Amino acid sequence: MSAAESPELAQPVFVNGGLRPALARALRGLRPAPSRVFLVVDPAAARLALAPAQGAVRDAGLSLTVLRAPRGEGRKSLTSAGALARALVRSGADRRSLVLAVGGGVTSDLAGFSAAVTLRGLRWAVCPTTLLAMADAALGGKTAVNLPEGKNLAGAFHFPSFVIADAALLRSLPAREWSCGLGEVVKSAMLDGESALRRLERAPPAALRRPSPALLAAARAAAELKMRVVRADPFEGGERALLNLGHTFGHALETAAGPRRLAHGEAVALGLRCALSLAARTGLAAPDYERRIGALLDRCGLPARYPGRLPGAARLEALLARDKKARSRRLDLVLPVAPGRNVIAQGADPADVAAEIHRALGAAPARR
């Protein structure tokens, strides 16, 4: 795709306690003006985010309909997307409507996907309310829902009109949500380079679990890194695949465990450990780099082991072969070499990748 054909990508706006005025400004700037705003809100985010979001829509002089999003990764399904699409249509959505997602990654994925397929495409925007969503999930225009066969297997590229992240909303995050976000933050630092990694390593662990200057700098850096990559390759024809670092391993583990036992950011952390293990074992990365990132993941409170007994190699192989990026049952793996240096190893055998998961996470390979 030529630069002239590339989509217009909105740079995320970070605020700290100013969601209502920032959102009102963004809504006033939309052309044409929305006929109605459909606010799709995560119930977990409603206590802090619903009132300022509603106030912003009123300040912008726009009509509003509030729709509740289902909670949890297990509800991010075609059934939920269909129910949301039907609710939009029944509530009078037209081609000038705006779908505004307020919540975490599940809400942004579900609302963005429903917007993409309703009336052949409605505009949408997002106010992420979790660290994971601010650093990664709400950015870049990838929207998707899960199938029983795997994570994010039904989706569309649909780029939001704007992204506004209010760091003040992070104050109510439970501990597990912090960990999920930090998994993506560490991944982004590995892609970004030495200075990003050092910034994380120098931050006191407690500062990474609250909206501190250190945490906000790390989240903003992660968002900027993702947007640079997406601008260069909006539809994942090349460089954008690097953003999948840790994800091919992680998605298989996440699907096998289920969202209650292994959340997305936790699975990414395990995936990073697997990618580092393979890179170090094959001589791509120095063992010191594997130990360094392992120590950083530990400091961030991210898991080093799968919750319970690892699935057998045959089960993992089947899940890996169904990865949405697999081609002819072969995988393209992103492997870390050094800070800011990563390579795409093409044509990996899912059986070999399954065996690497067992090696990295402390279990002998077994087929069952």
Query: What positions carry a catalytic annotation?
Result: 120, 142, 184, 226, 236, 240, 244, 247, 251, 264
CA 85 to chain centroid: 22
Amino acid at 290: E
User: With helix as H, strand as E and coil as C, how does 177-243 read?
Assistant: HHHHHHHHHHHHHHHHCHHHHHHHHHCCHHHHHCCCHHHHHHHHHHHHHHHHHHHHCCCCCCHHHHH
Could you identify the residue written with the tokens 């990748």?
Answer: 353
Task: Give the CB-side neighbour count of residue 248, counting CA atoms within 13 A.
Answer: 38
User: With helix as H, strand as E and coil as C, how does 290-325 read?
Assistant: HHHHHHHHHHCCCCCCCCCCCCCHHHHHHHHHCCCC
| DSSP type of residue 30 | -
**In whole angstroms, what is the distance from residue 75 CA to residue 110 CA?**
9
**In whole angstroms, what is the distance from residue 323 CA to residue 42 CA?**
27
| Distances, alpha carbon 12 to alpha carbons 90, 134, 147, in Å | 31, 9, 29
Q: Among 71, 85, 91, which residue's Cα sits nearest to residue 177?
A: 71
Q: Among 49, 79, 78, which residue's Cα sits nearest to residue 66?
A: 49
Helix axes 175-192, 194-202, angle to 10 degrees: 150
